[in-house]
Amino acid sequence: MTSKTMRPDDRKYFESHEWAKQDGDAVIIGITDFAVAALSNGNDSDLVYCDLPEPGRELAQGETFGEIESVKAVSDLNSPVAGEVLEINHKIEEHLEILARDPWNEGWMIRVKPTSKNWASEKLMSAAEYEKFLEAQKH
Amino acid sequence: MELWRRISTYGASPEFNMGLDQALLETPEAPPTLRLYTWEPDTLSLGYFQRFTDVPRATEAGAIVRRITGGGAIHHVRELTFSLSCSLEHRLYAGPIGESYARIHRAIAAALAEFGVRAELRGERALGSDVEGTGMCFHHSTDLDLVWDDKKGVGSAQRRKAGRVLHHGSIKLGTSPLEGDIATLERYATLEPEDFAPVLLAAFERELGIRTRPAAPELDEREYARQVGPGYRAERFVHRR
């Protein structure tokens, strides 16, 4: 975290409220606190089901890689980065309350091998830009 | 005042009903649309992620589909079903998800009030209609649900996809053997869905600050519905979990 923004600036943000962070040669992907809050109704147990892809699947940027169900909505999970799914976080499938507690680290969803090493420059926002994006959505 | 499209399709097939809702959700340029509909034959719809085996009496309904929205199973009979589809950026969906439910339920409560029903959000209490082990939506309640007579009377769920939202709702005019002792309008008025529809419509217009114009689905929406609709009733999708 930095003093300028509320959200971690060690990663990039996507317009549908997912984040992507470099992890060695791979990129890990999750959803933001805003996405979790938007789907929830104030309880850690509001998220009830999450469907994640099989490793090996090729994803285009923006492609739906999974779905998440809260007590009152099913939403798509979209990949901020093009690449191949290497690993999924099985832990959150059984313990979705992790997403409410720590969407930034423990709550990562998938690990992908990016198609491009320059993935971070493609249609993604910095933490500060994401803050502005959220602020603009309020109006 | 903001103009919405209104599509009424009574007695349509389950596959058409689900296919058209998908078309309304996934057509980016589709105007905000309120849809009012009923089902023929009577149909049980499973929630998107629900296990088939979690609904032990599913096969007693005339047909079975799996919805695009989550939650529990609903037996679509003696009810008015509606869907609201529009951009996620619409003021109806501003803020956390609970706020959009509150707005929509306020309109439904206003329509019910015209028949003397005092419907309110459940809040923190148990209901007489809560039943374990049936997998039915009306037997499982959350604090956002609209209730009266200490029972759940409206089933609702949302699907959010590519910047758009589809909100499904089922308002019970009577019950069914699969749903049993739930809140319905029957105690207050004997109504057909077509009789309740104008009252609900007027309440939506008033409470949401919109006007609606009657319309038929566009040709491309009908085509898309015909294309994807059968998938909702297909064995592979119904039994996918």
The per-residue pLDDT for range B177-201, each reduced to its tens digit, is 999 999 999 999 999 999 999 999 9
The answer to whether position A87 is within a domain reads yes
The answer to whether position A109 is within a domain reads yes
pLDDT for res A45: 76
Kindly list the residues of chain B whose beta carbon comes within 8 Å of any beta carbon in chain A: 48-49, 68-71, 89, 94, 96-98, 101, 142-144, 156-163, 165
Residue B230's SS3 state is: helix
Q: Could you state, in order of their start, the residue ranges of all structural domains in chain B?
A: 2-238
The pTM of this model reads: 0.91
Give domain B2-238's CATH superfamily. Bira Bifunctional Protein; Domain 2 (3.30.930.10)
Residue A126 has pLDDT above 60, yes or no: yes
Half-sphere exposure at residue A95, Cβ-oriented, CA atoms within 13 angstroms? 10
B157/A72 Cβ within 8 A? yes
Please determine, for the modelled complex, whether the ipTM score is greater than 0.90. Answer: no
Contacts of A63-68 spanning 24+ positions with Cβ under 8 A: A65/A29, A65/A109, A65/A110, A66/A109, A66/A110, A67/B48, A67/B49, A68/A31, A68/A39, A68/A96
Q: Which helix (H) or strand (E) holds B80?
A: strand B79-87
**Mean pLDDT over the full length of chain A:** 91
Among the ranges given (A75-79, A111-115, A122-126), the one the predictor scored with the smallest mean pLDDT: A122-126
Residue A40: phi and psi, rounded to 5, are: -100, 170
Q: Strands of chain A (E only): list them.
A: 12-13, 18-23, 26-31, 47-51, 58-59, 64-70, 73-78, 83-88, 110-114
The per-residue pLDDT for range B86-103, each reduced to its tens digit, is 999 899 998 888 899 999
The answer to whether position A123 is within a domain reads yes
The per-residue pLDDT for range A22-60, each reduced to its tens digit, is 999 999 999 999 999 888 877 777 899 999 999 999 999
- Output DSSP code: residue B226: H
pLDDT for res A5: 52
Number of domains in chain A: 1
The answer to whether position A59 is within a domain reads yes
For chain B, which ranges sit under pLDDT 70? none
Domain assignment of residue A65, given as a range: 12-137
CATH number of the structural domain spanning residue A84: 2.40.50.100
Selecting from A40, A75, A138 the residue whose C-beta is nearest the C-beta of B160 gives A75
- Output DSSP code: residue A9: S
Active site residue B137: yes
| % of chain B exceeding 70 in pLDDT | 100
Residue B59's SS3 state is: helix
Q: Note the residue count of chain B.
A: 241
